[in-house]
Amino acid sequence: MLSLRSLLPASLLTIMIAFSPHVRADEEKLGVVATFSIIGDFATIVGGDRINLKTLVGPDSDAHVYEPRPADAIALARADVVLVNGLSLEGFLDRLIEASETTAEITVLTEGADILMDPNGGHYHYINGRSVFHATPTDPHAWQSVANAKVFIGNIARAFCSADAEGCPKYEANAATYHDKLSALDMDIRNAIADLPEDRRVAVVAHNAFRYFERDYGVTFLAPQGVSTESEASAADVASLIREIRERRARAVFSENITDARLVEQIASEAGLALAGPLYTDALSPADGPAPGYLELMRHNLNTLTDALNAD
Amino acid sequence: MLRQLAYTTGIALILSGTALAQDKHDDHEDVTRFRIFVGDHADPKVTAFDLDDPAKRWTFATTGQNKLYSVNDGSAIVAVQFEDDAVHFIKSGISVHAHGDHSDIEITEPSALQEVLTGPRPFHVIDHGGNVAINFDRGGYVEIIDAHELSHGELKTRRLPQARAHHGYAAPIGNGWVTSVASDAPVEGDSLPTRIGLQAIHEDGTPAGEVATCTGIHGEAFSGAYLATGCEEGILTVTAGQDGPVMQMLEYPGNLPAGETTGTLLGSKSMQVFLGNYGASGMVVVDPVDEPHFRYIELPFRRVDFVLDPANARYGYALAEDGTLHQVDVLEAKVSNSAKVTQPYSKDGHWNDPRPRLAMAGDEIIMSDPLAGVVRRISKDTLKENATIKVEGIPYNIAVAGGSGLVHDDNAKESHDHSHNDAHGHKHAHSHADDQIYKGYFEDGQIEARSLSDWEGDWQSVYPYLQDGTLDKVMAHKAENGDKSAEEYKAYYEIGYRTEVERITIDGETVSFFSEGVPHKARYVSDGREILTYKKGNRGVRFIFKKVEGDEAAPQFIQFSDHKIAPAKADHYHLYWGDDRAALLEEVTNWPTYYPSSLSADEIVAEMLAH
C-alpha cells in the first residue's frame, strides 16, 4: 500500500510525458518572477506555457509603494529567472532579494533601453492625499516608449533562453511575433498623434509617468511637483500649475489607475478643464478591464488621450 | 540689459559642468558606525560607546533604571524609567538618512537633552510616522513627541488624553490615532484596570470609532502598511483606510497550542511581516495578508528576549533561558541555527530581574550579559562571539544607533549663519539650527510659504570680493578641508558667484537691481515655490516671485535659495533671475550670492571662515 502511494505521482508523470509532451507540470516549467503587471504580461507573451509566472505587484497597484510579503520572498527563492524594471522603480526589490537568498538571475529589462534622465531627480506619487517623492536620477517609466518595450521583450527572450535552452526557439519566435505587434502599435500611435492638431497636444496628469511618451510621440504632459491635496500650503503650487496650464493651453486633465483622483479633480476644477481618464501608467487593469495587457494599455491610453484632447 | 545677464549665466552653465550649488559635498567616504547605549540594572545611568572604539565612553545620569528605545532611525534614544516617573532623551549623535540610491551618515558626540519628561509611570513607546508616543500608564494620557525636533535636541510635545489610565499605548495610523482602551470596571487598591480593546481616536481624545475587541491588549508593532497588536483572541491588525483605521482580528488558529497568547510583537522593516512571542517558549510569524496568518515555532527553552534583523527580513534572533541563541528563519518559520552564547538565565523570578537583552547592529547581534558585566558582539551569520566589551555595573537594557552611509566633508558648509534665528524674534517653524534642512534633507510637509519680506534689506554681491582676492583666504581654508586646491575652489566659485548685479535692495514688494550703479526697479509678488532635487539626492526649495510692473530691464522672475524652507530672515541668499521660470530651475551652477551691504569685506570673510 505504502509503495503504491509513492508510486502514483511518478506513474502519472510518466503518462503525462508519454502522451502529452506539450503539457508540462508546474515544477518542470521555468520559474519566473515578474515584479509588476506590465512585466508579467511581457513574460507571458514570451514564455507562453513554458513558464510558471508569479507577478508580485498586481493590476492597478503601484510598485513604488508596494510592501513586499513573505510569499514574495518565497517565490523569489524558488525562481529561475527574476524580471525587474530597474531604475529604482521597485524600491522593495533589494531587501526582498536579500531575504529570499535567491540564486536566480536578476534580469534588468531597462538595460539597453533608451533611458531619460530626470532633471528633477525624481517624481511624485499621490497616495491617500499625500505626495510621496520618488527619488531617482533616471525616469523609470521606460515602457511608455514602445521602442523601449521592444528592448524589454528582447531582454526577456535572452534571459529565458539562457535559463532554458530547450525552449529558446519558442521564446524567440514569440518575441518576434510580438515585436511586429509592437511596431504596428508604434505606427498607430504616431499616426493618431499626427492627426491631433498641434495646439491640442498638452495634457495634465498627477504623476508624470509619460516623459517617454512625450519624447517619442510629442504629446506634452504637465504635472504638479510636490503638491499634497490636504496641505493648505500647497495652494501656491497648484496655482502655479494652473498658470502653466493656461499658458500652455492644456486641453484636459487625466486621472490614473494607480493614483487616487482627488488631486486631479481639484486641478481640473480650478483650471476649468474636463477630467478624463483613467490612463494606465504603472500597472495593467484587471483581466476584465480595458488594459489587461500592454498592447491594450497603450491603445486605451492613446484613445483616451486623443478623445479628450480633441474634444471641444 | 538684465536679460542679457541671464544669458551670460547660461554660458557659464555650459562652461562649468561642475557640481550643483547645494551639492558641494565632494568629499565623501563610506562609513559604518554603530553606537551602543546601555542602561544599568541598578544605577540610574546610561553608558554609551562606539563599537569601533569601545574604550571611549559617554555616561548619562538619569533618575532610575532605564528601558531604552532607539527612535527616528536611531537619531535619538528615549530612556524610559517607569518606576521613577521620568523619561530622559539622548541625541545619539549618529543619524542615517536614506536618499534613494545611497545613504548619508552624520556622526557627532551624543548629548543628553536637558529637558526631562516627568509623569506617572511612563511605559510603552511607539516610534512611527514622525511621532514618538509615550504612554503614561497612571496618567491616562500619551505624550506625543515630534521625532524630527527631537533629533535636533528639542522636546516638542503634545498630549493625547485617554478615557482611563491603563498600561497601554496610542499609535498614529494614517491621518489619525488608535489607542488601547481600559475596562470601566472598578479596581482593587492601586492596580491598573484590565484592557478590553483598541479604538480610533482624535488627537484631542474624542473617539473616532467603535472599540474593537482585543482582550488584554498588549504588544504592538508596525510593519509595511500594518499595525499589529496582541490580544487574547488573536492578533488585531490595523491599516489606514480612506475613512479612518480599518481593524481586522486574526484569530489564533487551532493548530497553535491552546491557552497561550501573543504579548510582544516586532515588525520587520524590510518585509511586511511580524514576529511575536506565543507563550513562554513559543514564537509566531504573523503574515497580516496571506494565509496562513500564523506559523508557530517552538524553542526548546523559555525565551528571554528576541529581535528582528532590520537589514535582512529573513532572520530573527531569540535568546533562550539556557543561554542558547537561536536564529529564527521567518520565511520558513523554523529555527535555522543555534549556539550557546552565555550562561543560563532562568526565567523563574521577576520579569525585571537582570537578564540579557538583544539588539542588532549591522552584521552583529549585540547582547547585554548583566551577570558577566559585559556586552557581547555576536556574528549574525555564525552565532560566534566576535568580541566582548566590559561595561561597569550591571549592563541590562540596550539600544543601538547607527548604520552605514556616506560622510560628507564639512567644507561644504560654506558661509552660512545657521545659528538660532529666534533672537531676531521671527516666527517660523524651524527656527533652530537645522543642519539637515540646510543641507537639503527635509520632508515636503516642512516647507512653508515665504514672503519677500524675508529678504528685505540692502544686499551686496560677494563676486567682487572673489575677483579682487579678498576671498582667497576662504578658498585656502576650503582647500585645507576639501578635495580641491584653493585655485580649483576659486574657479568653482568664479562660476558660482559670477554676476553683473553688484547690489540689490528689497523694500516691501519693490526689488532694485544695481548694475554699474544703475538701478532697475520692479514690483514682485509671490509665484509659489519649486522643490529641486540635486544629483546627490538632497533637495532645495526655490521661492519664486514674479514681476507685476516696473522697468523693462528687470527680470520677469526671481528665485531665492537660501537653504531655508520656511519663513525666516535670510542672512545671505543665492538669487536666480530671468524671464523663463522653468528654465531658471535648471540653472544650478551659477548662483549669484548676496550678503548684507552693512557687512565689510573683512566681516564677510570672517562669516565665511566661521563655518
Q: Supply the pLDDT for residue B156.
A: 93
- The answer to whether residues B530 and B551 touch, using CB atoms and an 8 Å cutoff, is no
Among A217-231, B326-340, B596-610, the minimum mean pLDDT is found in: A217-231
Q: Supply the pLDDT for residue B63.
A: 97
CATH architecture entry for A15-182: 3-Layer(aba) Sandwich (3.40)
pLDDT tens sequence across B95-121: 887 765 677 888 999 999 999 999 999
Is it the case that residue A147 has pLDDT exceeding 50?
yes
Among A265-279, B383-397, B523-537, the minimum mean pLDDT is found in: B523-537
Q: Is B448 on the interface with A (CB under 8 A)?
A: yes
Report the pLDDT averaged over residues A27-49: 95
Is it the case that residue A131 has pLDDT exceeding 90?
no
Please give the mean pLDDT across all residues of chain A.
Answer: 86
CA distance A308 to chain B (A): 26
Identify which has the larger pLDDT, A259 or B54: B54
ipTM surpasses cut 0.90: no
Mapping DSSP onto H, E and C, the string for B292-324 reads: CCEEEEECCCCEEEEEECCCCCCEEEEEECCCE
Q: Which residues is B132 bridged to in the sheet?
A: B127, B145
Q: Supply the pLDDT for residue A230.
A: 42
Report the pLDDT averaged over residues B264-283: 96
CA distance A312 to chain B (A): 29
Among A93-107, B3-17, B173-187, the minimum mean pLDDT is found in: B3-17
Is it the case that residue B202 has pLDDT exceeding 70?
yes
Nearest to B531 among A72, A225, A230 (CB): A225
Is it the case that residue A308 has pLDDT exceeding 90?
yes
Sign of dihedral through CA atoms A185, A188, A194, A195?
negative
Confidence of residue B417 (pLDDT cuts 50, 70, 90): very low
Confidence of residue B140 (pLDDT cuts 50, 70, 90): very high
Q: Supply the pLDDT for residue A295.
A: 98
Confidence of residue B404 (pLDDT cuts 50, 70, 90): confident
Is it the case that residue B1 has pLDDT exceeding 80?
no
Confidence of residue B535 (pLDDT cuts 50, 70, 90): low
CA distance A58 to chain B (A): 14
Mark yes or no for CB contact B447/A74 under 8 Å. no
B442 Cβ neighbours under 8 A, 6+ residues apart = B436, B539, B565
Residue of B nearest to A72 (CA): B271
Mapping DSSP onto H, E and C, the string for B316-375 reads: EEEEECCCEEEEEECCCCEEEEEEECCCCCCCCCCCCCCCCCEEEECCEEEEEECCCCEE
Is it the case that residue B3 has pLDDT exceeding 60?
no
> How many Cβ atoms from other residues are within 10 Å of residue B13's Cβ?
15
Q: Which residues of A touch B447 (CB under 8 A)?
A: 226, 233
Q: Which residues of B touch A123 (CB under 8 A)?
A: none
Q: Supply the pLDDT for residue B101.
A: 62
pLDDT tens sequence across A201-242: 999 998 888 999 999 999 999 987 654 444 433 555 677 788
Confidence of residue A125 (pLDDT cuts 50, 70, 90): low
CA distance A45 to chain B (A): 28
Q: Is B401 on the interface with A (CB under 8 A)?
A: no
User: Considering chain B, what percentage of its residues have pLDDT values greater than 90?
Assistant: 67
Angle at A148 between CA A147 and CA A150, to 5 degrees: 70
Identify which has the larger pLDDT, A25 or A272: A272
End-to-end CA distance of chain B: 36
Mark yes or no for CB contact B314/A135 under 8 Å. no
Q: Supply the pLDDT for residue A225.
A: 63
What is the distance, to the nearest Å, from the Cα of residue B467 to the centroid of all Cα atoms in its chain? 41
Q: Supply the pLDDT for residue A235.
A: 57
- Same CATH fold, A189-310 and A15-182? yes
CA distance A11 to chain B (A): 30
Q: Supply the pLDDT for residue B168.
A: 97
Q: Where are the domains of chain A?
A: 15-182, 189-310
Report the pLDDT averaged over residues B591-602: 90
Nearest to B99 among A98, A135, A239 (CB): A135
Q: Which three cell numbers mark A280?
A: 494606465
Question: What values do phi and psi take at B457, rounded to 5?
Answer: 135, -170
Mark yes or no for CB contact A120/B313 under 8 Å. no
Separation between Cα atoms, residue B88 and residue B80, nearest integer Å: 7
| Pick among 2.40.128.20, 3.20.20.10, 3.40.50.720, 2.30.30.100: CATH of B2-25+411-609 | 2.40.128.20
pLDDT tens sequence across A227-284: 444 443 355 567 778 888 999 999 999 998 887 788 888 889 889 999 998 999 999 9
Q: Supply the pLDDT for residue A229.
A: 40
- The answer to whether residues A41 and A58 touch, using CB atoms and an 8 Å cutoff, is no
Is it the case that residue B23 has pLDDT exceeding 60?
no
User: Considering chain A, what percentage of its residues have pLDDT values greater than 90?
Assistant: 64
Q: Is B243 on the interface with A (CB under 8 A)?
A: no
Q: Is B246 on the interface with A (CB under 8 A)?
A: no
Separation between Cα atoms, residue B431 and residue B568, nearest integer Å: 8
Q: Supply the pLDDT for residue A120.
A: 67
Is it the case that residue B437 has pLDDT exceeding 60?
yes
Is the domain defined by A189-310 classed in CATH 3.40.50.1980?
A: yes
Confidence of residue A3 (pLDDT cuts 50, 70, 90): very low
CA distances from A290 to A304, B258, B314 (A): 11, 49, 38
Among A231-235, A284-288, B132-136, B583-587, the minimum mean pLDDT is found in: A231-235
Q: Supply the pLDDT for residue B555.
A: 93
Q: Which residues of B touch A259 (CB under 8 A)?
A: none
Q: Supply the pLDDT for residue A5.
A: 40
Report the pLDDT averaged over residues B582-594: 85
Report the pLDDT averaged over residues B284-296: 96
Residue of A nearest to B289 (CA): A69
Q: Indicate yes or no: pTM above 0.90.
A: no
